[in-house]
Amino acid sequence: MFSVAPILSMDQPAEGSATLASKLEKLRAISGVLQGPPPSREALSWEQANVSVPRGALTEVSGPFGSGKTEAVVKFIARHQDSLGRIAWIEDRFTAYPTGFLQHGVDLSRMLFIEGGAESIWAAHQVLRSQVFGSIVLFVRESTLSASEPRVELRRLQLSAEQSNACVFLLTHQPRPQGASWPLALQLQANPNTRKLDVLKKGTARAVPGDRAVSHVG
Amino acid sequence: MLRTPNRIACILFPELHDELPVELCELFLRLSPVVACRRQEPRALFLDFRGIDTELPDFEKLLNLKVKALVRRCSETRAMRFRIGLAENAGFAFLHAQHPEGLDTKLSSTVLDHLLDPFAVVRASQKQSPGQISAWIKLLTQLGIHTLRDFSLLPPGALASRFGKNGLELSRRIRDATSSADLEAWPIFVPNEKLVESKHFDPDRPLPSLLDPILFTSKELLDRLSARLRARMLRATAIRMELHHEGRQDRDPLVIRFCTPQGSAAGMLPSFRERLAQWLQRTESEDSPLYGREILNVTLEVTETAPGHRSQRDFFHSHEDQAESWDSLLSRLSEKMGRAARFQVMPVERHLPEKSWAPCEPKFTPKDGTARSELPDGVTPEPQLEFFATRPTRLLREPIALEHEDGWLRWPDTDTSPGRRKRVLRWFGPERICEGWWETETPEQEAQRDYFRAVCQGGTQIWGYFETGVASSERECAEAPQRFYLQGYFD
């Protein structure tokens, strides 16, 4: 039987805040039934594309209508919904079919849908700033994004994503041209014939090194 | 002692097109504790006088005078005309108010609708459609039944099978017209609760019109308001302050809005200090009508609130913080894009794809990784609703009718370009969906669709339907020269 008393013993001399923090961690670990593990900062593996999806960065999934990009993202969400936590699904004009999501095993009570119109990017920033969501799926038409400077908009979005450590998926019809300095950590393209994801780009889109670096899978 | 008969009064406002003013409804609470409003045109107020013992020989005349006085008191509605109808139940009171020259008991769709639903609270889906009521009246006229009285004489046993539950209910209401048995559930008007705190000062010892004394008094009032808000799990987002200066009839209002909802006096006072200092600066000039006047009364009223959460943090969870962030996010999104733009989704047990889900108000649930599913992370959950064919992930709001010929689908022409064509390589289906036959009047209005998943040239997978009977197999599909209604994409 595990005893709580030694961990909380107040007889011992103060050992600094680091020791106290570790004791609190232990105490939280005991109550792990309630708390669960701390939020992961690891990248999440996406077997369908054989890559890892970084947290705190933008992942673009492109493909024409009916190519299977949304389906791939929905399957990924269903597979990692405990790690992703709450999910915000933002579209400028709502065409998602939640019953289809349900069939893939997505827990709809974790999802907040937003029909943002021209304010979709603004809504994405608000969601990221709230720090309540672990993932965002953003589906905006090119016309909505092009209303301002798309590169600057995406850079801002990437910074917000980095601060909130959330996975941000951008669903688009056309992939952004490669070689240009788009702030995308991962670019995938849905192949309608094979219904698989082709990797166009993988790499780090952030300047912050460390535990949140994108893992490269060959 | 006379006893007023059990009565329901209906005050009809035939010229009022907007909602009934709340102030007017509140005034009528002086006449009866049970007041209900009709939320649709024609607007009306219902007062319940049942069980009130009075010694009033001419109740109707007195009621007329009282109502006239109350309507006049409500300044905005001074010119509002009204008519009073008195009866033993709400439906008949409403009809009497509409026909002051004498109740027209001839059967008509309006009369039947008003009798069945005087408060206009029954949802449209549960009501009889105008077509059904017209069919009733036609049938009744053929049977020689022209008035409400004739209808009430029909044997109740035969009504349910001929006219459904509404017909039975209507007959009961007509028969009970002279009794007090009003089984109607009244949508009672409940006035909004006001959170107001005030402090009076003796005219001999008034409060000086200076920042610190006013803040000191406000602190006491804010403490009381905070306690009342806390009990209601609310926080204030706006507070209205009224100062009554000596020698002035009018009160001087000052609205203080907070950037984030506040639940304690400590959080509110900085904003108060700032706003009051600005306001007092303006009154310091000799031109100001408030110059040199002292204060006799300070009143604070909470005018806007936001949901509050426990201020004591949970040791093990951050749910309170997250719930606040969630509420704050929703309020920001609502303010910018409207409430309907952010929603959660609830599955609905309907077969038609467009009706199989419904948006609902977002609700905070602590699913941030602390409430975990039974499956370990990385394991794909079993798909739900396995007994249905796979549904797409995109659904169009309105199906697009595509011309289908020889295995080719042709999209409609646009203003700028002709419609594109795509060859269908493979059809998967059909999945027949028939729904709504119990809601429609004619078989033609029923939804009968054969859904197919079509794999087009280039790999695009679409989802749509033919009208039932056009193609019963995948092979027949390729040859069916009919319209294919594109409804979704396996995107």
Among B183-192, B408-417, B426-435, name the one with the lowest average pLDDT.
B183-192
- Give the model's pLDDT for residue A113: 95
Chain B residues 451-470 with a CB less than 8 Å from chain A: 456, 458-462
The helix (H) or strand (E) run that includes residue B240 is strand B234-245
Residue B366 neighbours by CB distance under 10 Å: 14
Helix, strand or coil, per DSSP, at residue B59: helix
Confidence of residue B15 (pLDDT cuts 50, 70, 90): confident
In the predicted model, is pLDDT for residue B407 greater than 80? Answer: yes
Closest CA of chain A from B199, distance in Å: 40
**Alpha-carbon A34 to chain mean position:** 24
Closest CA of chain A from B260, distance in Å: 14
DSSP for B327-355, please give it: HHHHHHHHHHH-GGGEEEEEE-S-SSGGG
Confidence of residue A91 (pLDDT cuts 50, 70, 90): very high
Question: Do B369 and A132 lie within an 8 Å CB cutoff?
Answer: no
Helix, strand or coil, per DSSP, at residue B415: coil
d(CA A171, CA A189): 10
Contact A141, A92 (CB under 8 A): yes
**Three-state helix/strand/coil letters over chain A:** CCCCHHHHCCCCCCCHHHHHHHHHHHHHHHCHHHHCCCCCCCCEEECCCCEEECCCEEEEEECCCCCCHHHHHHHHHHHCHHHHCCEEEEECCCCECHHHHHHCCCCHHHEEEEECHHHHHHHHHHHHHHCCCCEEEEECCHHHHHCCCHHHHHHHHHHHHHHHCCEEEEEECCCCCCCCCCCCCEEEEEECCCCEEEEEEECCCCCCCCCCCCCCCC
- Give the model's pLDDT for residue A215: 38
d(CA B166, CA B115): 11
- Give the model's pLDDT for residue A87: 93
- Give the model's pLDDT for residue B208: 86
Helix, strand or coil, per DSSP, at residue B225: helix
Closest CA of chain A from B454, distance in Å: 10
- Give the model's pLDDT for residue B22: 79
Residue with tokens 């309630």: A34
Beta strands B252-262; B195-200: pairing state? unpaired
Higher pLDDT, A194 or B292: A194
Helix, strand or coil, per DSSP, at residue B158: helix
- Give the model's pLDDT for residue A137: 95
Instruction: Give the chain B residue whose CA is nearest to the CA of A125.
Output: B329
Residue A184 neighbours by CB distance under 10 Å: 24
Higher pLDDT, B118 or B239: B239
Tell which residue, B72, B33, B37, has the closest CA to residue B52: B33
* Amino acid letter, A80: H
- Averaged pLDDT, B322-340: 81
Establish whether the linkage from the previous residue to B42 is cis, with ω within 30° of 0.
yes
d(CA B39, CA B19): 7
> What kind of fold does domain A44-202 have according to CATH?
Rossmann fold (3.40.50)
In the predicted model, is pLDDT for residue B369 greater than 70? Answer: no
- Give the model's pLDDT for residue A74: 93
In the predicted model, is pLDDT for residue A214 greater than 50? Answer: no
- Comparing CB atoms, the residue among B341, B363, B373 nearest residue A114 is B341
In the predicted model, is pLDDT for residue A155 greater than 80? Answer: yes
In the predicted model, is pLDDT for residue B188 greater than 90? Answer: no
In the predicted model, is pLDDT for residue A1 greater than 80? Answer: no
In the predicted model, is pLDDT for residue B3 greater than 50? Answer: no
- Give the model's pLDDT for residue A37: 44
When scoring B316, B320, B343, B345 by the number of chain A Cβ atoms within 10 A, the one with the most, hence best to mutate, is: B345
Helix, strand or coil, per DSSP, at residue B489: strand
When scoring A4, A61, A97 by the number of chain B Cβ atoms within 10 A, the one with the most, hence best to mutate, is: A97
The CATH architecture annotation of domain B195-307 reads 2-Layer Sandwich (3.30)
Tell which residue, A114, A118, A91, has the closest CA to residue B330: A114
- Average of per-residue pLDDT values in chain B: 78
Contact B343, B359 (CB under 8 A): yes
In the predicted model, is pLDDT for residue B36 greater than 60? Answer: yes
Residues 6+ apart with CB under 8 A from B319: B366, B370
Tell which residue, B250, B254, B286, has the closest CA to residue B273: B254
Contact B467, B370 (CB under 8 A): no
Angstrom distances, CA of residue A89 to CA of A54, A58, A167, B339, B459: 18, 15, 12, 16, 26
Confidence of residue A10 (pLDDT cuts 50, 70, 90): very low
- pLDDT 10s digits, A40-72: 556 777 877 788 888 899 999 999 888 889 999
Contact A115, A94 (CB under 8 A): yes
Question: Do A132 and B325 lie within an 8 Å CB cutoff?
Answer: yes
Q: What one-character DSSP code corresponds to residue B177?
A: G
- pLDDT 10s digits, B418-432: 778 888 888 887 888
Helix, strand or coil, per DSSP, at residue B233: coil
Q: How far apart are the first and last CA of chain B?
A: 79
Confidence of residue B220 (pLDDT cuts 50, 70, 90): very high
Residue with tokens 């200090």: B273
Domain-wise residue ranges, chain A: 44-202
Higher pLDDT, A26 or A9: A26
Higher pLDDT, B48 or A210: B48
Contact B255, B240 (CB under 8 A): yes
- Averaged pLDDT, B302-308: 84
How buried is residue B100: exposed, middle or buried, by Cβ count under 10 Å (0-12/13-18/19+)? exposed
- Averaged pLDDT, B228-253: 85
Higher pLDDT, A155 or A31: A155
Chain B residues 372-411 with a CB less than 8 Å from chain A: 372-373, 375, 377-385, 388, 390-397
Confidence of residue B224 (pLDDT cuts 50, 70, 90): very high
In chain B, CATH 3.30.1490.100 sits at: 195-307
B156 φ, ψ to 5°? -60, -30
Q: What percent of chain A has pLDDT over 90?
A: 27
d(CA B49, CA B31): 9
Residue B316 neighbours by CB distance under 10 Å: 13
Q: What one-character DSSP code corresponds to residue B297?
A: E
d(CA B460, CA B489): 8
- Averaged pLDDT, A198-218: 53
- Give the model's pLDDT for residue B373: 47
- pLDDT 10s digits, B373-395: 444 455 555 555 455 678 899 99
- Give the model's pLDDT for residue A81: 85
- Average of per-residue pLDDT values in chain A: 78
- Give the model's pLDDT for residue B329: 85
Higher pLDDT, B455 or B5: B455
How buried is residue A217: exposed, middle or buried, by Cβ count under 10 Å (0-12/13-18/19+)? middle
In the predicted model, is pLDDT for residue B252 greater than 50? Answer: yes
In the predicted model, is pLDDT for residue B233 greater than 70? Answer: yes
In the predicted model, is pLDDT for residue B281 greater than 80? Answer: yes
Strand order in the sheet with B35-38: B35-38, B43-48, B8-13, B83-87
- Give the model's pLDDT for residue A8: 38
Among A31-40, A110-119, B229-238, B478-487, name the one with the lowest average pLDDT.
A31-40
Among A91-95, A112-116, B233-237, name the one with the lowest average pLDDT.
B233-237
Looking at the complex, does the CB of residue B34 fall below 8 Å from at least one CB of chain A?
no
